[in-house]
Amino acid sequence: MNHVTSLDALSLQNSWITIGTFDGVHRGHQALTHTLVEGAHQQGHPAVVITFFPHPTVVLGKNPPPGYLTSPDERARYLGELGVDWVVTLTFDLNMASLSAAEFMQWLTAHLGVRYLVIGYDFALGRGREGTPERLQAIGRQLGYEVILTHPIQEGEQPISSSHIRHLILQGEIEAANRWLGRPYSIEGTVVRGDGRGHTLGFPTANLTIWPEKLLPANGVYATWAWVGAKRLAAVTNLGLRPTFDSPLPQRHLEAHLLDFTGDLYHQTLKLDFVARLRPEQRFASIEALKIQIQNDIRKAREILNHVP
């Protein structure tokens, strides 16, 4: 998979393309991408995803999301795992927002030789979202591409959407969010030195510094898988303000206690796959009460993770 941030150096022919934000690369995105990749590769042509950063709603100030499910690099990696050949992450700004659907498609066609455009049933692009599927089909007759419409993927009776997945994560409903995503929600960061409280308690933790625009779940304690390189380890992860320890300037901390692990993780990259929320964050009357609860959290996390493939 090739990930680029500009069309300038691209000169492809007979591309199959799709366009969208694709935040989360959830099950709906995956189904659309499967149609794209299967069709393109059957004909021996490139499968291309055109995506944007920042999110258009952030630039336009229309109910911006509370955080991103995936960074641009994470999103490109997930799309590459689905078989996409090229991911083009374009910088969305007011100049791009001012383009008509025809202008935007002319620009793409000049660089990608668009042959097929694969889009969802409710897709729209261009100034004022005037580029509806019907309008894009009309433009395609002029530019030489065909439009393929895909059906929505639903969870129950509701179409899967990034916005609802964000809502579930903010509520701490990780298991439901994971069903909608089609994989565990993950957060990746660099291990940094903390204040050493976990080690003092007998439960050393890896403290993570993460991308500030990443969406964080509700405060609480979670059963997670921690990835150290290619090695997966069971972990109990705490996210929150650590209310048992008074702090003059409380801020949210993300720290993971890796079970059955000893070693130095400082400055390494650690990825956490969130599997289930064990409990909300709470204040304990004593350090001993906190230690007993941590032991209970570890036992419960093991039970959950032992049943996760």
Euclidean distance between CA atoms 204 and 189, whole angstroms: 17
Q: Within a 10 A sphere around the Cβ of 101, how many other Cβ atoms?
A: 20
2-159 under CATH 3.40.50.620, yes or no: yes
pLDDT value at residue 268: 93
Phi, psi of 150 (to 5 degrees): -110, 155
pLDDT at 104: 97
What's the confidence (pLDDT) of residue 139? Answer: 97
Half-sphere exposure of 153 (CA within 13 A, CB side): 18
CATH class of 184-305: mainly beta
In the predicted model, residues of the chain with pLDDT beneath 70 are 194-202, 242-250
244, 291 Cβ separation under 8 angstroms: no
Tokens in use for 226?
Answer: 């921690």
User: What pLDDT, on a 0 to 100 scale, did the predictor assign at position 198?
Assistant: 55
Count other Cβ atoms within 10 Å, centred on residue 52.
Answer: 21
Helices 133-143 and 101-112, axial angle in degrees (round to 10) = 50
Q: Where in the chain are the domains?
A: 2-159, 184-305
Report how far residue 117's alpha carbon sits from residue 16's, in angstroms, rounded to the nearest whole number. 6
Note the pLDDT of residue 131.
94
> HSE on the CB side for 308, CA within 13 Å?
19
